[in-house]
Each structure stands twice: as structure tokens, then as C-alpha cells.
Amino acid sequence: MVTVASRRAAEVALDCASQMGIAIAEQPRRMKEFQDEVQAVAERELQSSSRQPGLLASSSSGSSRSSSSSSSTSSSSAAANKDLEAIVDELRADIAASRALLQQIKTGDMGPLGPTTSSSKRSGA
């Protein structure tokens, strides 16, 4: 009975290690797919927001309408590009924080309430 239990435990451990290895190997591909998907959504949002007439300045009137409209479109596009850059920067920061947390979890630096470095500082103080 002990032999059967130890053999079964070894099989379970091997299966877990195998699944973890597969997940680790697939992580870069999944991150790339996630980044591509976020980029595509951001580009669609940017395109749809630049097509909405409410975002263009409505101060243009009369014969100067076309030049005013074109300058407001370019300033609107510049603002949208800055917003897009801010969103991408925020997503990159979130990805970096997630990677750091994942690394802490992998190395066992996480306690039940968070990183063990902060809990040891509280208990030592």
C-alpha cells in the first residue's frame, strides 16, 4: 500500500511539473498574444474615436471650415496619440508588476499576506 501511494504521489508530482513546464514554455507566446490584442483594441479605439464628430472642434465656421477642421483633426490625433501612449505605458507597467509578482511567487518569496520582505520588516520593527 505504501508503494502504491508513493508511486501515485510521484506520478502526480511528475504531472504537476510537466504542466508547470508547459505553462512556463507557453508564457512568452501568451504574453505576445496579449500585447498584440491590447494593441489592436487600442488602435480600434483610437480609430473609432477619431471618426466621431463630437471629438472634432466645432469652432470652425464659414470658408475657414476646411482648414480649421484639418488643424483640429491633427490636434485631436496628437492628443489621441498621447492618450494611446499613456495607455500603452500603463499596460507595460502593469505587465512588469505582474512579472515581478510572478517571479516572487515562483521563488517562494510570497508569504500568506504578501512578500515576506515586508512582513519581516514589520515583525522586526
Contact between residue 60 and residue 69 where contact means Cβ atoms under 8 Å apart: yes
Question: At CA 93, angle to CA 25 and CA 44, rounded to 5?
Answer: 85
For residue 17, CA distances in Å to 25, 45, 86, 98, 107 come to 12, 41, 39, 22, 15
Average pLDDT over the chain reads 75
Alpha-carbon dihedral angle through residues 45, 47, 49, 52, given to the nearest 10 degrees = -140
Query: CA–CA separation, 19 vs 50, rounded Å?
Result: 45
In a domain, 15, yes or no: yes
In a domain, 86, yes or no: no
Number of domains in the chain: 1
Q: 36: domain range? A: 7-48
In a domain, 13, yes or no: yes
Q: Which tens digits make up the pLDDT trace of 66-99? A: 444 455 556 667 777 778 888 888 889 899 889 8
Q: Which residues of the chain have pLDDT under 70?
A: 52-76, 110-125
Helix, strand counts (H, E) of the chain: 3, 2
In a domain, 35, yes or no: yes
